[in-house]
Amino acid sequence: MTHNYLDVDLIRASAATGDIPVAVLTLNRPDKLNAMDVETRRRLAAAIREFGSDDIVRGIILTGTGRAFSAGEDLASVPTTFAEMHEAVRTFHDITRAILQTTVPVIAAVNGLAVGGASEITLCCDARIGTPNTTYFQPENHRGIIISNASSLLLERLVRSHAMRIVLGSNRIDADDALRIGLLDEVVPADRLVDRAKEIVGQWNWDPRITALHLELLRPALADVEAAFAREDSAAEHAWDCGAFTDGVTGFWASKTAATTSLIEGKTT
């Protein structure tokens, strides 16, 4: 059975949106912190492409439901073969590709925890707006997983030397730190998050003809992004071949099981 964990809302032109239409794409799987399976990632890329020209909307907003933007890869459906892993990485890459191919601003409204591939998706967005609850977390280096979504290029482009500590240290970056280093552009109250993203779309895309040209000039070149994808794919293959990926994911689930067992035993003693 397949499930649809992506809500698509087309907000028509009104005074609230500055008289412009906006598409809000919401990851909606709060019981799993909006973790994305392969099908959800495919749907997200398709929705971005559907609304990515200025024919329907003037901008796209990405956000999540509940306390997380997204926990990233759904490790409950972890790949068991290299082909499955390659497809998982490819579907993450394709979301980044779809965003960079749009002709309208794409705003990440990061409502809470953004982990791994999900945090990497925000890196290619044209703005990242957070709340005091926003936290970025790149755990891949401690889980045998390789960063993706061209984050090997895009993260350093945003935060320069901080990229190394974010990836290798796998430390959580809170909203204040994210704002300080340039990972977030603004921090607003949670109840203002999506509205503020709508305001930015209205302010930025006054004339879609000119905005589209500036987006192409200011965004990273797609050729450079594709080259980053290729380097990340090669690194992912090495991680698979040497067993680091399998060991890392196995260790992650072992720690989760141990924590759950400890919690249950604590309640029954």
Q: Which long-range CB contacts under 8 A does 53-56 form with residues at least 24 apart?
A: 53/102, 53/103, 53/104, 54/103, 54/104, 54/205, 54/208, 54/211, 54/212, 56/10, 56/21, 56/23
From 140, 156, 199, 265, active-site residue = 140
Q: What are phi and psi of 74, to 5 degrees?
A: -80, 100
Number of residues written out for the chain:
269
The correct answer on CATH 3.90.226.10 for the domain covering 6-260 is yes
pLDDT in the model for residue 77:
76
pLDDT in the model for residue 262:
45
Residues 35 and 18: their CA atoms lie apart, in Å, by 32
Work out the average pLDDT over 250-266.
57
Q: What residue ranges do the domains of the chain occupy? A: 6-260
Question: Above 80 in pLDDT, residue 3?
Answer: no
pLDDT in the model for residue 48:
98
205 close to 102: Cβ distance less than 8 angstroms: no
Closest of 201, 209, 142 to residue 172, by C-alpha: 142
| Single-letter code of the amino acid located at 244 | A
Q: Look up 84 and say whether it is catalytic.
A: no
pTM of the model: 0.91
Residues 77 and 80: their CA atoms lie apart, in Å, by 9
Record the tokens describing residue 223, joined without a space: 């050729």
Task: Report the helix count and the strand count for the chain, using DSSP H and E.
Answer: 10, 10
The DSSP line for 49-84 is HHT-STTT-SEEEEEESTTEEE--B-GGG--SSHHH
Confidence of residue 92 (pLDDT cuts 50, 70, 90): very high
Work out the average pLDDT over 109-138.
98
Query: For tokens 């000039």, what's the residue?
Result: 217
Q: Look up 120 and say whether it is catalytic.
A: yes
Residues 14 and 21: their CA atoms lie apart, in Å, by 8
pLDDT tens string 183-240? 999 999 999 999 999 999 999 999 999 999 999 999 999 999 999 999 999 999 999 9
pLDDT in the model for residue 267:
54
Question: Above 50 in pLDDT, residue 264?
Answer: no
pLDDT tens string 46-66? 999 999 987 899 999 999 999
Question: How many angstroms separate the Cα of 224 from the Cα of each of 100, 118, 150, 235?
Answer: 12, 21, 9, 17
Residues 100 and 95: their CA atoms lie apart, in Å, by 9
Q: Which one is predicted more confidently, 157 or 78?
A: 157
From 84, 120, 186, 216, active-site residue = 120
